[in-house]
Structure 1
Amino acid sequence: MRANALNAAAHCSNDDGAQRPAPAPASAATTAGVGSDGAAAAAAVPCLTGLPIIRVPLADADEVPSALAAIQFAYTGQVEAGGSVREVLELYRQGQYLQVDGCSAACVAALEEMLAAAPSAGVGSGADSGSGVGGDSGGFTTQPCPTALELYGYLRLWPDDPALEPAFASVLSAARARLVAHFGNALTALNTLELREQLLALPAEGLEALLESDDFGTDVEDTVLLLLATWVQENGDTAGAEAVERLCRRVRLAQLSPEFAALVLPLLASARIARPKRSIGSGGPGWFPITGTEAAFMLSGFLAGGSTPKRRRLQDAAVKVHGLQAGLFDTKRRRQCLAASGGDGAAPPGSPGQQQRQQPQCPAFGWSISQAELERGLRGLQPGSTVSFACTLDSGLGAVSVRGFEWWASVDYKYGDEAAGLFLWCHLPAAYHLGASSLGGPLAALAQIGARWEVDRWRDGVRAVASAVEYNGSDFFGIGACSGLGVSDMLPLQRGGGCGGGTAAGGGGASLAAWSEYLHGGRITGRAVLRPLDV
């Protein structure tokens, strides 16, 4: 229904039978018919004498505002300013349904303008810059959610096949770029609480936009697999088998680190084989679509490297024999989000380093131990025993996700010692669904990380790094709760307050006074600075 056709058809009769054009806007005399029979008007505007009535059959009352907006556009040619993404999408659909000339193009222009007006990067703008070595914010600055998130949140309002509508496809192209800029990289998305929650709320189409982009950064592809596993754990049962498999094919298995692939791929294949056929495609054990022969092929051939001709022949063989898709063999690395060793950590907010989001940095994640927790642990400490204090991340998350694993630290103190130790622990994330019950026994494997764990000291109100422990390619962590790696005397305690007759709030054991250099504002603080793994 063209706009000029609406005007031409809107006539009413005089007493003598002559026709008179209607002078008023359509909204002044519009009835939105609700229901399959197009009957009663749920949001009818009273018809003024001598004005035409335009009846628009709608599915339900929720469509009334967009129908009125479409008819208003037919008269004004304007998309109302200040509308939300949802309102513009609804108008887009109604304009197509009513065939209002120019409405779709105007809505596309409005959406493109909204995307262009959004911040160049959202919560993840600090993805590669963090909050600085001394920061306590856990890493990243926050800005309003970009329009792209809202656009993906209303997937049901998209055209049935966006690819068949070039104008809307251009909107999605811009939205994908904004979405990638918002999340930044896999490390940011997993280790920033707000971003992690937004990631888990994405539909499969939104996550696919991240996974298929070369600009979506990471430390290694291992972390991309963990990001996908985390999403599938939350959404796999509702996303459907087809969507889960499509997302899995976006992981570049050929880019997994060899050690990680040698551990995880056979386990994922074993879990897949043991999974009941009726559960294939959803979340839970066996969620990743890979067979034993496919895993063996990846490990024995493609991941082993070799000449380029050899890799091409292997890829051709895999496609013919296993039917593996080319995306799994993508040899193009994603954008690297970790700077080479030697940096002093992430740039502070607002610095030039933060403005250049594409520049790799060393993101820092603050952690702390509360004085109350320290006091409780010391009060109950007995001779010969050791107390362990878990370092709580400022982000509110339980662990740092990096290199496909989850890492957490603890400060350990043994009764009578003159120093406390700092230890780092590695766990296989539960999102992989590779627990002992599905594997047939406990896991014996090693992992590595490139990082520096720091502890702060306070003197005369000034903070400095008291000590730090470096982890690199020469350090191997056993995966599990009993294989921490660290330095047992990293935090020297003040003499005279170490043990025995100290009065930690009236209790025995070690005294809080021994920890006074590290306590400030009711807590011990520090940070984890991530770096590439130096072998």
Structure 2
Amino acid sequence: MGSSLPGHKLVLRSTSEWFRTKIDRWAGEAAKVGGTDGLGLELRVSLNSEEEEPAARAAIGFAYTGRVQAGSIREALEVRRQAAYLQVEGGVEACDEFIRGRLQAASGSSSNGRAHDGTDQPPVLEFFECVALFPDPAEEPSFAAVLACAKQALVPHFHDALAVLNSSHLRKQLLAMPAVAVEALLEAEAFGTDTEASVLLLLATWMEANFDRTEAPTRKRLCRLVRLVQLDRTYLSCVLPALAAAFSTCAAGDLTCAWFPIGFMEAAFITNLSFTTHLASLPNSEAHKVAREELSAAGENKYDLTSPWYSFAARPQCVPDVGTTYGWSISEQELKEALEAAGDEILLEVSQFQAGMPYVAARGFLWRPRIYIERGASAAGLFLSCRTPSAYQMPELDGGEQMAGVACLDAYLTVHSWEDGAREDDIVQDFDVFSQICIGRSLGIDDMLPLLQPAEMAGNRSPLAVWGSYLHGGKLSGSLKLLPPLRAAAGAVAAQ
């Protein structure tokens, strides 16, 4: 296909084993096709499709120029495949160096290591989009270095579990990644989180969208990367049993709910080991330390205690001591429509956080501010709701029954107040380890937000007038500030 590519036997023989073999075999036949001294020799390179022609020409061109003619990682991988097939000396290595250079440059330019939300395709995601072009590691072990470089570039892009779960842009990128990339992210020691529950939620979110593109061995390999013994009490008592029940009940039908391969007894053992280990870490707990050793010994013959499921090595904490703040807002139009609706009770939920999500994911659950208003009341209520992620809602199991449990979040929920265009006093509600919130419900204070009274509104009859200083820039705004689990852990120890 295409026009003939002129070449020189001297160059091709000295740079390609494939061409050297062909030339030595067919040079003597050149005279039969009108050439002399082999000048009329024509060699044909077999391709799988027309799309491979540019890469094959570029691989041959490398023999002359020593340069990789590629404008992207995908093109470099295509040239690499042809260079390997044609056995062009130095071609594979040059393509590998080209790819590593692109990955390292992008990783090094990330601001403070944070993932960027730009519209350009990051090189590391482009690389993992080309899984079909990856060589067989058994045949080309040198590609392992390229794969390792790509894996290292994943963490600077995604950074941590909360960054992914709370950004619509990064979440979309995660869902589009192949299993090999998700595996690399979860096994990276530098990948941070607030708690291991968020890591499990991240995997559950990806699996919800990609179950049909995975097979049982792949799902098992991915699930094994979650450090189950580090899950908190709520996850160990609610989420893990639900996953085990789903797998035991639905696995034969290979249904979506059966994605996490764990049995009832091993889930119970992990829960027991986690609780016993926690008790053994407390002061004056010699008896619990002995119990932990005996429990581990009992499980060694039944379970693979070398698996990450049983790893107590903590991932990097992604929430700094000063906290991570997520801004939220409710537009005046949304507020007005709610106030004008029929009924004496009004419940208004935050519609959007700054990163484009309708909630904040933390500690493995979804958290969302709520404002509750009784018509004619002098104050509005401020609440924080806790919801189960859709990835854990299993309609195939018990009719989709909701989990019954409580969760806690160490956080400050804030509503902004304004005066003459400047932020003034904020209304702040404090949540800590003792603020137990039932899953599927909310916790707060009924009269948290004082509203203007008729005498203070100077005759303004607008339904929004009572909100006075809370409104600014066409919206009611605030923030949810997450704190690291340290305060919650300290409270749990003090409560023992």
Q: Please state whether the residue corresponding to 2:258 is helix, strand or coil.
A: coil
The structure, 1 or 2, with the larger RCO (C-alpha pairs under 8 Å, 6+ apart) is 1
How far has the Cα of 1:530 moved from its partner?
A: 0.9
The answer as to whether partners of 1:409 and 1:424 remain within 8 angstroms in 2 is: yes
Q: Deviations over 1:295-343 (max 9, x none)?
A: 1111223442136776565445434214565221111100111123xx2
In structure 2, C-alpha distance between the alignment counterparts of 1:141 and 1:465, rounded to whole Å: 32
> 1:145 Cα deviation (Å)?
4.0
The reply to whether residue 158 of structure 1 matches residue 170 of structure 2 is no
CA distance in 1, matches of 2:270, 2:55: 52
Aligned to 1:93: 81
The reply to whether residue 318 of structure 1 matches residue 318 of structure 2 is no
Amino acid at match of 2:448: M
3-state SS in 1 of match to 2:448? strand
Are residues 368 and 15 of structure 1, via their aligned partners in 2, closer, same or farther at CA, if it must alter by over 3 Å?
Answer: closer
Amino acid at match of 1:491: L
Alignment of 1:455 with 2:415, yes or no, is yes
Q: Does 1:425 align with 2:385?
A: yes
Match of 1:31 in 2: none
SS in structure 2 of the partner of residue 321 of structure 1: coil
Q: 1:7 to 1:271 in 2, by over 3 A?
A: closer
Structure 2 match to 1:366 = 327
Match of 2:263 in 1: 291
Alignment match, 2:284: none
In structure 2, do the counterparts of structure 1 residues 227 and 4 end up closer, same or farther at CA, with 3 Å as the change threshold?
A: closer
Are 1:193 and 2:176 an aligned pair?
Answer: no
2:306 is the alignment partner of 1:330: no
Mapping of 1:460-499 within 5 angstroms? 460-464=420-424, 466-480=426-440, 483-496=441-454
2:206 match: 231
Residue 172 (structure 1) aligned to one of 147, 150, 170? 147
The structural deviation recorded for 1:232 is 0.5
Alignment partner for residue 46 of structure 2, among 52, 57, 60? 57
Q: Is the 8 A contact 2:117 2:170 kept in 1?
A: no
After superposition, the C-alpha distances for 1:154-180 in whole angstroms (9 at most, x for unaligned) are 00100122x663432111111111101
Q: CA shift at 1:75, angstroms?
A: 2.1
Q: How big is the shift at 1:523?
A: 0.9
Q: 2: distance between equivalents of 1:314 and 1:271?
A: 26
Instruction: String of CA shifts for 1:257-301, please: whole Å, max 9, x gaps.
Output: 13321222222111222115131xxx6223211111111111223
Distance across 1 between alignment mates of 2:455 and 2:112: 44
Looking at structure 2, the residues matched to 102 and 13 of structure 1 have their Cα atoms a distance apart, in angstroms, of 32
Partner amino acid, structure 1, of 2:480:
A
| Aligned position for 1:146 | 122
Quick check: 1:124–1:142 contact (8 Å CA) kept in 2? no
1:74 touches 1:100 (CA, 8 Å); kept in 2? yes
Aligned partner (choices 520, 527, 531) of residue 472 of structure 2: 520
Decide whether aligned partners of structure 1 residues 497 and 70 sit closer, same or farther in structure 2, where only a CA change above 3 A counts: farther
Give me the whole-angstrom Cα distance separating, in 1, the residues matched to 2:317 and 2:85.
Answer: 45
1:365 CA displacement: 1.5
Distance 1:386 1:458 in 2: 26
Whether the aligned pair in 1 keeps the contact of 2:84 and 2:92 (CA below 8 Å) is: yes
| Residue 404 of structure 1, CA deviation | 0.8
Q: In the comparison of the two structures, how many residue pairs are matched?
A: 458
> Partners in 2 of 1:245 and 1:471 — Cα distance?
37
Supply the AA of the counterpart residue of 1:70: A
CA contact (8 A) 2:382 2:445 kept: yes
Give the C-alpha shift of residue 503 in structure 1. 3.2
Distance 1:497 1:329, change over 3 A: farther
- The separation in 2 between residues aligned to 1:215 and 1:123, in whole angstroms, is 17
TM-score, structure 1 as length reference: 0.79
Q: How does 1:243-254 map to 2 (within 5 A)?
A: 243-254=218-229
Deviations 1:75-130 (A, max 9, x none): 222112x5200000011111111111111011111111111211436599447xxx
Q: Secondary structure at the match of 2:247?
A: helix
Distance in 2 separating the partners of 1:78 and 1:268: 52
Secondary structure class of the residue paired with 1:412: strand
CA distance in 2, matches of 1:435, 1:472: 32
Q: 1:436 to 1:92 in 2, by over 3 A?
A: closer
Give the counterpart of 2:65 among 70, 76, 85.
Answer: 76
Q: CA separation in 2, counterparts of 1:221 and 1:214?
A: 13
AA in 2 matched with 1:290: I
| 1:412 equivalenced with 2:372 (yes/no) | yes
Find the partner of 2:339 among 378, 381, 389: 378
Maintained 8 Å contact 1:122/1:144: no
Residue by residue over 1:338-395, the C-alpha shift from the partner in whole angstroms, topping out at 9 and shown as x without a partner, is 123xx2xxxxxxxxxxxxxxxxxx222121111111111112354xx11111112232
Structure 1: distance between partners of 2:402 and 2:329: 31
Say if 2:327 and 2:479, in contact at 8 Å, map to a contact too. yes
> Larger % of helix: which?
2
Distance in 2 between residues matched to 1:407 and 1:96, nearest whole Å: 51
Q: Distance in 1 between matches of 2:291 and 2:82?
A: 55
- Name which of 84, 105, 115 aligns with 1:117: 105
Q: Is the partner of 1:55 in helix, strand or coil?
A: coil
Distance 1:398 1:17 in 2: 73
Distance 2:157 2:52 in 1: 31
Superposed counterparts of 1:216-227, under 5 Å: 216-227=191-202
Change (3 A) 1:110 1:516: same
For 1:335, the aligned partner's letter is P
1:532 equivalenced with 2:484 (yes/no): yes
Aligned-partner Cα distance in 1 for 2:191–2:316: 6
Determine if contact 1:381/1:415 at 8 Å carries over to the other structure.
Answer: no
